Amino acid sequence: MISEKKLVTALGLEVVVPSQDGTLPIEESDVCRPGLQLTGFWDYFAYERPQLFGKVEMAYLSTLDADTLAARLKTFFSFALPCVIVCRGLSIPEAMLVCARERRIPVYRTQENTVRLEMAIINYLNTELAPRRTMHGVLVDVYGVGMLITGNSGVGKSEAALELVKRGHRLVADDVVEICRVNDHRLTGTAPDRTRHFMEIRGVGIIDVYTMYGVASIIREKSIDMEVHMELWQDGHSYDRLGLDNRTTTILGVSIPSLLLPIHPGRNIAIVLEVAARNLRLKQMGYSAAEELLRRQTGIKTRPYGFDENADYSDLDED
């Protein structure tokens, strides 16, 4: 279900015939321009989508005599349409309004161009209908990398995020992260409205990051590019020291890189997280320091990242 009020506000629509309960039964993000249906071809009619009337559809209706128009519209509105939207501020035939009111199907009008409105509706519905999940953690923008920091309560997630904010990075959410799957390969995260910009620091209490550090310290929404799971150092546990294990985690069906970060006194976690973000960017550009070191150890001659034809790399060939 989609909220009528939110749809009307987001797309700037004029309500001509309102919905009965303030909601619209829309379950997919595509729209339908019912050109063929208005001519009398009803096979494969995507009636479950928002019905978009542009200049072409309205011009065709104007060519029909009164009886044919009434018959076509009666058949059209006999389907369980979620809503009808008329573009370009075009005049709506009275016969259409009569059918809409009888069937209690909402009708909206906009001054927007049909193609642009179609794109806007699809983008809006993609976001509203996207799968969502709430996770316990902290989301920070570090060098443009959306870093989701997870771990048990009290492990130091908020303190690490606060240090990152002090170093010029941006907070998205603390403690509760609302995650949305925008498409099959991309996740975005944001904070609940009630807790946005606030952070809990044990021993200090609640702080307002926006008020304390300024507008540059926060961001409303960010893509989630990697997960860093923090845990207290466990003796005897084998931790990755080279970075050859390309760990991933799956959230809402989307796989993202994942790191397991052991915590013990003396580690500067903020710097480690900055390095993790920079290293991910390098891997995305096709360079892995661990793989380069492995190639050198096995004697495979490779050109270093940023190879300069005029530089002297003879020392790399020595045994």
- Three-state SS sequence of the chain: CEEHHHHHHHHCCEEEECCCCCEECCCCCCCECCHHHHCCCCCCCCCCCCEEECHHHHHHHHCCCHHHHHHHHHHHCCCCCCCEEECCCCCCCHHHHHHHHHHCCCEEECCCCHHHHHHHHHHHHHHHCCCEEEEEEEEEEECCEEEEEEECCCCCHHHHHHHHHHCCCEEEEEEEEEEEEEECCEEEEECCHHHCCEEEECCCEEEEHHHHHCHHHECCEEECCEEEEEEECCCCCCCCCCCCCCCEEEECCEEEEEEEEEECCCCCHHHHHHHHHHHHHHHHCCCCHHHHHHHHHCCCCCCCCCCCCCCCCHHHHCC
Q: Is 264 a catalytic residue?
A: no
The catalytic residue among 49, 72, 157, 181 is: 157
Examine the residue annotation and report whether 185 is marked as an active-site residue of this protein: no
Q: Is 267 a catalytic residue?
A: no
Does the annotation count 283 as an active-site position? Answer: no
Return the CA Rg of the chain. Answer: 28
Residue of 5, 136, 220, 295 marked active site: 136
Determine which one of 175, 186, 196, 281 is catalytic: 175
Catalytic annotation, pick one of 241, 301, 312, 315? 241
Catalytic residue numbers, as ranges:
136, 157, 175, 241
